[in-house]
Structure 1
Amino acid sequence: MAARLRSMLQSLRSFRFASALPQRYLGRHCTGRQWRSAFPDATKADIRQFLLGFVTAFGFLDDEKLKFGPGDPLRQIYRDLYPSRCMPDGLEFETLAADLRTKHGIALGDLLSDTLTLGELFGHVQRSRA
């Protein structure tokens, strides 16, 4: 039952927020070089898989994954998506946390801060694979 509810919420979130990329990211070019520079030992596939999990959790389109760079703070992306604290969210952090726990054994709650960047989170994912 919980899995079905989660799936329904993901579908609704994807419908509601697909293409709702925050303004600051709309004009960005591919950040692939930034990722490869920051993580020279990571494969392109590893980076893209990580970013796919992130954009899926946040309800962005798959082809928008490389609009996000390693220096982007997670909380800033969230605040750009929900500028008003009165807006109900789509459980983005909860979805991302469940994905990280299932795939990598990482507890996002232990890492999450106002300054945690996508690159720092990817670093934790990379270390979990070692």
Structure 2
Amino acid sequence: MIWQWIFILGGASVLFFLITAAERARLRKLLDRPCAGIHWHRRFPTVKHDDIREFLALFTEAFAFDSIHRSKFSPDDQPMALYDARYIPHLTMDDHCEFESLDEVLKSRYRFDLSSEWHKDITLGELFALTQLTSTPRATKLS
């Protein structure tokens, strides 16, 4: 009986490892690229560096990316493509509610409703531009 449990747990561990390795491989192009700050400043030349950095910090937190990678996101990145890269259909079982988290952060920080502007090809640059059109943001605590 104990060998059956060891076999089951071993198999589950191997499956978890393989899924995690596949996720990392799918995200490798993103995680290995250099800082995209120049792209943000070319697209938004009048916006303060700290405003862009804060938006990216909120995005990476909502999407559960490590904060050290926030500067690698470009204004042309699509949240839906990042989501698809992270989750392997029919293999990855959990959804970390990234879009719900992002909607919540945008509402609380920028008073912006993601659902009112959402389309599957929306980019981070479009989202950031929309946050700049909303009323003065409220203070927020970043972790």
Q: Same fold (TM over 0.5)?
A: yes
Q: CA deviation at 1:117?
A: 0.1
Residue correspondence of structure 1 range 8-19 to structure 2 within 5 A: none
Structure 2: unaligned runs, 5 residues or longer: 1-19, 137-143
Greater mean alpha carbon deviation, residues 97-106 or residues 20-29: 20-29
* Distance in 2 between residues matched to 1:93 and 1:63, nearest whole Å: 20
Q: CA deviation at 1:87?
A: 2.9
- Number of the residue aligned with 2:3: none
Of the three residues 98, 102, 107, the one matched with 1:96 is 102
Conserved? CA contact 2:111–2:135, under 8 Å: no
Of the three residues 106, 111, 114, the one matched with 2:112 is 106
Structure 1: unaligned runs, 5 residues or longer: 1-16
Q: CA deviation at 1:69?
A: 0.1
Task: Give per-residue Cα distances to partners, 1:5-33, cap 9 Å, x unaligned.
Answer: xxxxxxxxxxxx9xx68222022000000
- 1:81 and 2:66 correspond: no
TM-score by length of 2: 0.73
Q: CA deviation at 1:83?
A: 2.6
Q: CA deviation at 1:129?
A: 4.2
Task: State the identity %.
Answer: 33
- Number of the residue aligned with 1:52: 57
Larger Rg: 2
Q: CA deviation at 1:88?
A: 2.2
Q: Describe the SS at the equivalent of 1:101.
A: helix
TM-score by length of 1: 0.79
* Distance in 2 between residues matched to 1:129 and 1:122, nearest whole Å: 13
* Distance in 2 between residues matched to 1:42 and 1:82, nearest whole Å: 33
Q: Which amino acid aligns with 2:97?
A: L
* Distance in 2 between residues matched to 1:112 and 1:83, nearest whole Å: 23
Residue correspondence of structure 1 range 59-74 to structure 2 within 5 A: 59-74=64-79
Count of aligned pairs between the two proteins: 112
